[in-house]
Amino acid sequence: MIGSVALRSGSSGNCTLIRNGETRLIVDCGVNGKTFTNALALAGESPLDIDGILITHEHSDHVSGLGVILRKYKIPFYITQKTLEIILDSIGKFDYNLINIIRPEDKFLIKDQPVTSFQVPHDAAETLAYRFETSRGDITVCTDIGSVSQSILNQLTNSRLIILESNYDSELLKNGPYPRILKDRISSGHGHLSNDECGDTLCHLVKTGTEQIVLAHLSKENNHPSIAELTAVQSLEVTGAVKDKDYVLQVARRYSNSDWMQI
């Protein structure tokens, strides 16, 4: 099997499984040990078979379960030096031999899986996205991104499967309960990606080879799955792309496993 499943997605916790044949990788570990184990079991997998954990950045919804899982399952993890220094005191004791330091713009192997990391704008020390090369096309995980520059768009292009942030609806954020300072942070170029910005990005990606889409990291207060999906579908319709004909799309779930996306 080659594909991906979002085990959890959103500010309550993020964790994504990537599988390429016999190599199984996790992107982010923002769930507790029990949720991690149970979610993998529902996906037909076991923590004992995970070959590596890749961390995007230090925010708690991406790393809160890391310490427990490192202690219990001894899984190697991949992280930048800046991010490691921020989280090290908070994740408790673990075997430091599990640490693999990577650079923001790097290409490396985990077993036989080529991985490319690239930095994205977000209000953290050094936020990364990851691209996984497979024989059937590439899988890219890109969430917690405030804006999509041309250089980032180049990194995303030709991904057959994309897990892309669609965090907030602009009107819901504008009229919602958040204080102004938080609204400004979210909508800044170093905050999160709006539904409209996600849709614009997808228009380019579907034109250049993307066939499978997962909308991820939706805000609980400033978005809704139906709104995020409708925005993406309507954006793509303008380019002539038709859902379930030219691409398939799902919205990652906050509190349960999403569906497997196989390529």
Q: What is the pLDDT of residues 187-235, one digit of tens each?
A: 999 999 999 999 999 999 999 999 999 999 999 999 999 999 999 999 9
Q: What is the pLDDT of residues 110-119, one digit of tens each?
A: 999 999 999 9
Q: What percent of the chain has pLDDT over 70?
A: 100
- Token pair belonging to 133: 């090369």
**b vs e for 204-231, b when ≥16 Cβ sit within 10 Å of the residue's Cβ?**
ebbeeebbbbbbbbbbeebbeeebbbeb
How far apart, in whole angstroms, are the C-alpha atoms of residue 138 and residue 160? 5
- Token pair belonging to 67: 């310490």
Cα angle 161, 163, 169; round to 5: 135
- Given a contact cutoff of 8 angstroms between Cβ atoms, the answer to whether 82 and 95 are in contact is no
Q: What is the pLDDT of residues 6-26, one digit of tens each?
A: 999 999 999 999 999 999 999
The residues that bridge with 162 in the sheet, in sequence order, are 140, 213
Amino acid at 66: L
Residue 141, C-beta contacts closer than 8 angstroms, at least 6 positions apart: 4, 16, 18, 27, 56, 129, 130, 131, 132, 163
How far apart, in whole angstroms, are the C-alpha atoms of residue 193 and residue 190? 9
Q: What is the pLDDT of residues 142-164, one digit of tens each?
A: 999 999 999 999 999 999 999 99
pLDDT of residue 138: 98
Q: What is the 8-class DSSP label of residue 177? A: S
Which strands make up the sheet holding 99-101, listed edge to edge?
Answer: 99-101, 77-79, 52-54, 23-27, 15-20, 2-8, 261-262
How far apart, in whole angstroms, are the C-alpha atoms of residue 168 and residue 237? 20
How far apart, in whole angstroms, are the C-alpha atoms of residue 205 and residue 196? 14
Amino acid at 145: I
Q: Which domains does the chain have, with CATH numbers?
A: 1-115 (3.60.15.10), 145-254 (3.60.15.10)
- Given a contact cutoff of 8 angstroms between Cβ atoms, the answer to whether 168 and 146 are in contact is no
Q: Report the predicted TM-score, pTM, of the whole model to 2 decimal places.
A: 0.97
